[in-house]
Structure 1
Amino acid sequence: MTSTQKVSDQKAFDALLRTRLAAFTRKTFATVDPGTPYSHNWHVDLIAEYLEACTRREIKRLIINIPPRYLKSISVTVAWPAWLLGLNPAERILASSYAHSLSLKHSTDCRLVVKSDWYRRIFPNVQLVGDQDTKEKFVTTERGMRYATSVAGSVIGEGGNYLIVDDPHSAAGALSDVQRKTACTWFDQAFATRLNDKANGVIVVVMQRLHAEDLTGHLLGKGGWEHLCIPAVAETRTFIDFGRIKLTREAGEPLHSERENLQAIDRQKVELGSYAYAGQYQQRPAPPEGGMFKAGWFQRYERKEEKYLRIVQSWDTAIKASQINDPSCCTTWGERHGGWDLLQVVVRRLEYPDLKSLVVSQATAWQPDAILIEDKASGQQLLQDLRRETQLPIIAINPEADKITRAAACSALVESGRVYLPTHAAWLTDYEMEMMQFPNGAHDDQVDSTTQFLNWMKLSAASQIRIRRL
């Protein structure tokens, strides 16, 4: 190879590092952990695609759940901040972890990258200020910076365009109600307020799941977050289509078999126990077989039927939009011979006028044959107004037992394989997680909507049998 070709190849490689975060992440790994051979896998590229979308402000709130030791910190907390500063030396980035020592390690690794020869070659405009170049905080001559803090640590006087939380809980701390709630309160009332631009600032949380009410559970309960959930072993056939990444994970397929095959993962399951394994490895902080509803009971459909016997919508309503209350939920079902396809799940926190409008808009979109609304509390006024103002096929549901009893009454319909979920949907992960965790999860609105529909179907079928006998 001639010297001219070498120069040309170097320029092409440098251009790739500047424009593709995935390539930059691989180079970062070689810098911060030079003694370990790099073994590439698609999930590194997928995380980079999501972070590039955050960089373009296409995603402003992102949660990434992934097992430990799969390059989450190097990808999100080390490589991405360095890349952001390279693209714009004036960017301001705040990064936090549960322990100050861990935050300092991530910061030190990021600074090591920024000071490397290859980084300075591809991003020559990034220069650090000599008297503001520490493990905790380093500042560029353009007044950009990366600042490291810890959960419950002080962020007074600091603000950022990008906020990163990497492992907000320790494994032991997440089991403590006090420590877990302290972390969530710190995020809400201290860290999240440090965005310089509340409209365009970006917040990324990356962690392994440790508890149903950890920071991920807390934020998903609020709504408004993009959720990238990557289990160690695919529990169902999963289609991944985001940015440049398009692939299918088959049920039972490990995340990265070269790094951790199924035998190694099974050993971890034994060592961790089913609860810890379900959270840390499968990102479902409940045993994988589920609670009242087991994961293996749900069937899958590839595509919707061209015509269903009927379409039914089931509403679990809540009027108050406060984040501490359960949201309102609508599940839309398609009935076909032998079962029911769950077609859509909508979960929103709404005041009453917006809730009523949403019921109408969902009915317009799906043209249901029946709309089930609980004739209790918030649903009573909704039933009255919709019957007076619309011609919608509203059916009032009068619950006769508590939530757990209602769920138990219809669990056999799920166990018999008559309930079908799509192989891919934006809402699918959150729906499955809530169903598997019931009755121990933080929220149950999707469960209530589902059991209301299934119990109504049971009564409907029983009524038809009685009519035939007469």
Structure 2
Amino acid sequence: MSALPAQAALTAMMRQNFSLFLMRVFKELHAGAQPLELAWYLEAICHALVEASAEDGARLVITVPPRHLKSVAALVALPAFLLGRDPTRRIMVATYSQDLARLHATQSRAIMQSAWYRAMFPGTQIADDGNRMLETVTTCGGGRKAVSVGGSVTGHGADVIIVDDCLKADDARSEAKLEEARAWFAGTLATRLNSPGGGAIISISQRLHEYDLPAMLLESGYRHLCLPAIAERDEVIPLGPKRRHQRKVGDLLDRPGVTREKLEADRRSMGAQVFSAQFQQNPVAPEGNLIRLEWFENYDEEFEREDFYRIVQSWDTGLSDEPGADYSVCTTWGY
């Protein structure tokens, strides 16, 4: 097979397969870097993103640890891919800051202006007056609109809304910031769908707080693709129409360079509570992972053994302060 037909076949595959398209986007954004390794978790994210964006009425939450390429996949590559296949679609992407919104908009626009993209999707062209800082408009009337939390979206509608980290980690303990993100999404962003109740809304982020935006969306019935750094249960994760990944308790996400030892070092340096939220996607209350003395009570009467699932005894075999007086203390509790 000559080089030309092989390249044509690869282009055709990337036009249909978002995972392969993401690899090409990564190469464009990181010229000179090692090619992107398509780990299974990236295939899972790509499959979930494309499946949701093609389903009218789809509501999806993806939670994944930081630095796992979620923003490049969802905010940079996906809009370009969707507009390449249908330049009439209107896509709105939201993040917590204007700077991030500008960065991702610039990257996505650079992809759409590249020679390989224009050759792959010749029917998708940016309009002469549609090349703006936070908005890219195609000649067919579709496009990508970037917004940040608190910003105005008046006059703009969307077929697909993509939300990426509407709260930065430093603001996770601020009740005001938590409420601002939740209220802005519910009262502003979610109302911009061109088809109320239809379209698609996709949230992709790390968890930061038990009452963050993903928590609100999950309570509303959104589907959930949860990808903790270390698996906490056995599950089967779709990678494509006929492909699955079987994940076992204790399995890592297989991101290159991330080892069990590195994750344990992260846990020690940031603390169990932050690690549980950002890496395990399981946020707990500030005192939710501590044993507090007031939870325990004293009882004079004896209880029957069958009243408890398990009986635990804790022994303190230390010495009394009084010379020659030894003692042992036994604490017993059941649950």
- The bucket for the TM-score relative to the shorter chain is 0.7 to 0.9
**How far 1:412 sits from its partner (Å)?**
5.7
Task: Give, as a single letter, the amino acid of the residue that structure 1 aligns with 2:309.
Answer: L
Q: What secondary structure, in the 3-state scheme, does the structure 2 residue paired with 1:130 have?
A: strand
Q: How many residues align?
A: 299
Is 1:29 aligned to residue 26 of structure 2?
yes
Residue 186 of structure 2 is matched in structure 1 by: 188
Residue 49 of structure 1 is matched in structure 2 by: 47
Task: Give, as a single letter, the amino acid of the residue that structure 1 aligns with 2:134.
Answer: E
Highest relative contact order (Cα 8 Å, sep 6+), 1 or 2? 2
Residue 310 of structure 1 is matched in structure 2 by: none
Q: Structure 1 residues 257 and 93 mapped into 2: Cα distance closer, same or farther (>3 Å)?
A: closer
Contact 2:229 2:253 in 1 (8 A): yes
CA distance in 2, matches of 1:204, 1:73: 12
CA distance in 1, matches of 2:233, 2:217: 25
Q: What secondary structure, in the 3-state scheme, does the structure 2 residue paired with 1:156 have?
A: coil
Contact 2:57 2:199 in 1 (8 A): no
Residue 413 of structure 1 is matched in structure 2 by: 309
Residue 303 of structure 2 is matched in structure 1 by: none
Per-residue displacement from partner, 1:67-86 (whole Å, max 9, x unpaired)?
Answer: 00101011111111001100
CA distance in 2, matches of 1:185, 1:92: 23
Query: Structure 2 matches for 1:143-162, cutoff 5 A?
Result: 143-162=141-160
CA distance in 2, matches of 1:58, 1:262: 39
Contact 2:47 2:238 in 1 (8 A): no
Which of 253, 256, 274 in structure 2 is aligned with 1:255? Answer: 253
Bigger helix share: 1
**Is the deviation greater in 52-61 or in 155-164?**
52-61
Residue 109 of structure 1 is matched in structure 2 by: 107
**How far 1:240 sits from its partner (Å)?**
2.0
Q: What secondary structure, in the 3-state scheme, does the structure 1 residue paired with 2:309 have?
A: helix
TM-score (normalised: structure 1): 0.60
Task: Give, as a single letter, the amino acid of the residue that structure 2 aligns with 1:102.
Answer: L
Residue 213 of structure 1 is matched in structure 2 by: 211
CA RMSD in angstroms comes to 2.6
**Identity %, equivalent residues:** 33
Residue 271 of structure 1 is matched in structure 2 by: 269
Residue 6 of structure 1 is matched in structure 2 by: 3
Query: Structure 2 matches for 1:114-129, cutoff 5 A?
Result: 114-129=112-127
TM-score (normalised: structure 2): 0.83
**How far 1:256 sits from its partner (Å)?**
1.5
**How far 1:152 sits from its partner (Å)?**
1.0
CA distance in 1, matches of 2:236, 2:49: 20
Which segments of structure 1 move beyond 4 Å, counting only runs of 4 or more?
Answer: 290-293
**How far 1:91 sits from its partner (Å)?**
0.7
Per-residue displacement from partner, 1:278-327 (whole Å, max 9, x unpaired)?
Answer: 0100000028xx7599xxxxxxxxxxxxxxxxxxxxxxxxxxxxxxxxxx
Contact 2:166 2:181 in 1 (8 A): yes
Residue 226 of structure 1 is matched in structure 2 by: 223
Q: Structure 1 residues 118 and 412 mapped into 2: Cα distance closer, same or farther (>3 Å)?
A: farther
CA distance in 2, matches of 1:48, 1:15: 18
Residue 235 of structure 1 is matched in structure 2 by: 232
Contact 1:208 1:279 in 2 (8 A): yes
Which of 55, 59, 62 in structure 2 is aligned with 1:61? Answer: 59
Residue 351 of structure 1 is matched in structure 2 by: none
Contiguous gaps of at least 5 residues in structure 2: 298-305, 313-334
Per-residue displacement from partner, 1:219-251 (whole Å, max 9, x unpaired)?
Answer: 11222x110000001122332245343122222
CA distance in 2, matches of 1:57, 1:109: 26
**Is the deviation greater in 259-268 or in 177-186?**
259-268
Q: Structure 1 residues 292 and 88 mapped into 2: Cα distance closer, same or farther (>3 Å)?
A: same
